[in-house]
Amino acid sequence: MVSDGGKLSARATKFSVKHKQYAELIESTARRFKLHPALLLHAVIRAESNYDPKAVSTAGAVRLMQLTRVTAERYKVTNRRDPAENVRGGEQYPRYLLNKFG
């Protein structure tokens, strides 16, 4: 067996802590907009930012849901860096897509 020097375990622990830190916010927002938190919002956040509340993409998308300025404006997010506003704004886009395409 090849050892990774504990890196995998450290990454898993870091992910678990970040996941737990935002779980209630994500789940309450999902309930509000009738989305499944584990299947959609957690998956989007993990893919977009890996729960890094300071994530910034090369395109300027920020935080957990990687909101761009355009998406933030569309969903009336005044502070893309605020975790609650970021998740609220970011989850509205998947809801829009689900409504539009079923």
Catalytic site includes residue 48: yes
The three-state secondary structure class of 67 is strand
Q: Cα dist. 9→3, 4, 14, 16, 53 in Å? A: 11, 9, 9, 10, 21
Q: Looking at 24, 27, 48, 73, which residue is catalytic? A: 48
**Which residues are annotated as catalytic?**
48
